[in-house]
């Protein structure tokens, strides 16, 4: 054994990978669980099952985490577009109007500076400083048509042994 104290460096990782997801609607062919499967492709996406907004996705991280970065992958990845799809304006296939929220142990709270209007990006990155401490994140979209999200990646670090009040499956 070494004579000096052992230090393990903690690195940021995708905390949402394979975590449970709730959606207020889904197309049976494209379930909500696809947004945390690690695959950024049109074949493995979530598609809302209704036209009426809001379209809501909730990711349960199952433990408290310090979240420093989130990437919402929406729209058709460039490498998968047909020539007709590529002819459309930038962001044509992306979710347009949305925001991120976190569970503050009592309510859903908007994350500052995450509200997007008329999005034209396929990948929408967010950076948080200081990090947000929570165990649940929510994506809320107000588009008046069905939407698709390829993946939502959540980066940060777990915060030790803190267990969510009521257990990880606690609902609001």
What is residue 8's predicted lDDT score, i.e. its pLDDT? 44
| pLDDT, position 47 | 95
> Under 8 Å CB-to-CB from 168, ≥6 apart: which residues?
60, 62, 63, 135
pLDDT by residue for the chain (172 residues), tens only, comes to 445 444 444 567 899 999 999 999 999 999 999 999 999 999 999 999 988 999 999 999 999 999 999 999 998 888 999 999 889 888 888 999 999 999 999 999 999 999 999 999 999 999 999 999 999 999 999 999 999 999 999 999 999 766 665 555 444 4
> How many angstroms separate the Cα of 136 from the Cα of each of 10, 63, 66, 80, 95?
21, 9, 11, 31, 21
pLDDT for the residue 12? 75
Q: And the tokens for 154?
A: 């959540």
Among the residues of the chain, which ranges form H helices?
83-86
Q: In angstroms, rounded to a whole number, what is the distance separating the alpha carbons of residues 75 and 81?
A: 10
Give the SS3 label for residue 85.
helix
Contact criterion met (CB below 8 Å) for 88 and 75: no
**CB 120, CB 139: distance < 8 Å:** no
DSSP string computed for the chain: --SSPP------EETTTT--EEES--BTTB-GGGGGSS--BTTB-EE-S-SSSPEEEEEEEEEEEEEEEEEEEES--GGG--HHHHTSPTTTTS--SEEEEEE-SSSEEEPTT--BSS---SEEEEEEEEEEEEEEEEEEE--SS--EEEEEEEEEEE-TT---TT-TT---
């Amino acid at each position: 054994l070494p004579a000096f104290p052992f230090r393990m460096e903690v690195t940021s990782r995708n905390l949402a990978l394979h975590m449970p997801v709730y959606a207020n609607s889904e197309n049976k062919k494209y379930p909500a669980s696809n947004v945390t499967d690690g695959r950024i492709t049109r074949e493995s996406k979530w598609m809302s099952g209704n036209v009426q907004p809001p379209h809501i996705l909730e990711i349960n991280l199952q433990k408290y985490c310090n979240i420093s970065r989130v990437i919402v992958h929406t729209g058709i990845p460039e490498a998968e577009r047909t020539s007709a799809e590529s002819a459309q304006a930038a962001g044509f296939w992306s979710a347009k109007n949305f925001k991120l929220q976190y569970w503050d142990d009592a309510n859903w709270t908007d994350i500052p500076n995450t509200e997007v209007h008329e999005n034209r990006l396929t990948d929408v990155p967010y950076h948080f400083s200081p990090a947000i401490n929570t165990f649940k994140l929510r994506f809320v979209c107000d588009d008046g048509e069905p939407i698709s999200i390829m993946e939502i990646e959540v980066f940060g670090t777990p915060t030790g042994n803190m267990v969510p009040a009521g257990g990880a499956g606690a609902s609001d």
